[in-house]
Amino acid sequence: MNISHIEHIGIAVENLNESIKFYEDVLGLKCYSIEEVADQKVKTAFFMVGQTKIELLESTSPDGPIGKYIDKKGQGIHHLAFAVNNATEALKLAEEKGVTLIDKESRKGAEGLHIGFLHPKSTHGVLTEFCSKEV
């Protein structure tokens, strides 16, 4: 599986602009990119912390995954993403070990990365994502 580092921490927020202010004005980080990912119904804002990113996620629709999450649990840490060589391969390896997948194969995520999720039922409550530059 070859996890090299934590690629990003995904944080569900109600209002992207309000949250960006906290990360910039209080924590002194710089938002370097805002991107809408249409098929996930989110707008994302990225901050670099060492080689790990903070990914803020604001829902663009109440029926999107982040909209539903905030409805149920409120704002907060939503998922943990590990950098791997090949996200599809990492998903397969996890499946072979009995993990339930949300994505059988990687798909395109923010920043052009290939991403795939493991089901939190199989990961002790943490929605876990694999990210890779190649498929």
Q: By CB under 5 A, name the binding residues for Zn ion.
A: 10, 81, 129
b/e burial code for range 52-62 (CB count within 10 A of at least 16 → b): ebbbbbbbbee
- Residue whose C-beta lies closest to Zn ion: 10
Nearest distance from C-beta of residue 18 to Zn ion, angstroms:
20
- Give CA–CA dist 43/98, Å, rounded: 32
CB-wise, 70 or 81, nearer to Zn ion?
81
Nearest distance from C-beta of residue 72 to Zn ion, angstroms:
18
CB-wise, 20 or 79, nearer to Zn ion?
79
CB-wise, 29 or 102, nearer to Zn ion?
102
Nearest distance from C-beta of residue 56 to Zn ion, angstroms:
11
